[in-house]
Amino acid sequence: MEDFKKNKKFQDTLKTAKELFWKHGIKRVTIEEICKEAGVSKMTFYKFFPNKTELAKTILENLVQNSLLDFNELVKSELPFSQKLEKMFLMKIEGMNNFSMELINDIYTNPNLELKEFMEQKKNESIDLITNFYRDAQNQGFIRKDVKIDFLLSYSDQIVKMMENENLMAQYNKPQDFIIEAMNALFFGIVKKSDQ
The CA distance from 81 to 89, in Å, is: 12
Quote the Cα angle for 58-49-42, to 5°: 130
> CA torsion 5→10→11→15, rounded to 10°?
-140
75-117: pLDDT as tens digits: 999 998 878 877 887 787 677 667 788 888 888 888 777 888 8
| Candidate from 30-34, 46-50, 114-118 with smallest mean pLDDT | 114-118
Per the rule left: phi > 0, alpha: psi between -120 and 50, beta: everything else, 191 is beta
161-176: pLDDT as tens digits: 888 788 998 999 888 7
The CA distance from 46 to 55, in Å, is: 10
Q: Are 98 and 23 in contact (CB under 8 A)?
A: yes
Domains of the chain plus CATH, in order, are: 52-188 (1.10.357)
Q: Are 52 and 112 in contact (CB under 8 A)?
A: no
112-161: pLDDT as tens digits: 778 888 888 888 888 888 899 999 999 999 888 999 999 988 887 788 78
For residue 48, give the amino acid letter. F
Cβ atoms within 10 Å of 144's Cβ, excluding its own = 7
pLDDT of residue 21: 94
- Helix, strand or coil for residue 176? helix
